[in-house]
Structure formats: structure tokens, C-alpha cells
Amino acid sequence: MEYILNTQEDKRERLLKVMTCIEQCAPLANLSMDYNMPTFRTEQGWISVANQKHYLPVYTCQAEHIAAYKMLYPKQKTGKGCINFSDKDAIDFAALTDVINNALSE
């Protein structure tokens, strides 16, 4: 996918790890380039991941999808329905799996 190839090499591995996590949670999800970023869709929902200059955001567009994650990591930068992982933030993939499942199974 061109999006991944155009990602800076030092950020590409992190982006691929998040995308792989999504694929493992929802192997039947359709991958497209909605909103100019990789977007995984099921009949029940969607989740997108992007590469920004200083962070990797994961978008779900629903506050309830990330609520449990926010409780676990209250200092993590988030938006209404997204988690913004700075380049220095560790990603708890077990907790991210819950976010993915929430977003794709609504």
C-alpha cells in the first residue's frame, strides 16, 4: 500500500504493528483509504489509523469506544473518539485490542 511506503521508515514499523493488530482482531474487515488514511470497516463499525508528523492517531469516532482505554491511561492524549500516540508513547496492544473490538463490533 502506497500510504505505508510513504511513511517515514522510523515510523513505518509502529504503523504496521497497529495495522496488524487491527487485522488480527478483525480478519474479515475491509481495508480502504477512507479519509486519506487506512480504514478498516466491518458491517458494525470502522477504525482508522494515520501517520502524523509527531504522533500516530487511531480514530474510532465514538467516545465510548475509547472510554476504557482512557480510564487505564488518563494522561494519554485523546480526542472525542481517537487516541493520539506520540512518537514516544508506549502502546498497550492488549488495551488497544479492546478499543478495536469496540469500534468494529458496534
Averaged pLDDT for residues 14-25: 96
pLDDT confidence of residue 80: 92
- In the chain, the percentage of residues whose pLDDT exceeds 90 is 80
- Is 106 a residue whose pLDDT tops 80? no
Beta partners for 59?
48, 82
The mean pLDDT of 39-55, rounded to a whole number, is 94
What pLDDT, in 10s, does the model give residues 57-103? 999 989 999 999 999 999 999 999 999 999 899 999 999 999 999 99
- Structural domain tally of the chain? 1
CATH number at residue 33: 3.90.1150.200
Residue range of the domain that includes 70: 2-104
Question: pLDDT at position 68, please?
Answer: 95
pTM for this entry: 0.92
- For 3-25, b/e burial (b = at least 16 CB within 10 A) is eeeebeeebeebbeebbebbeeb
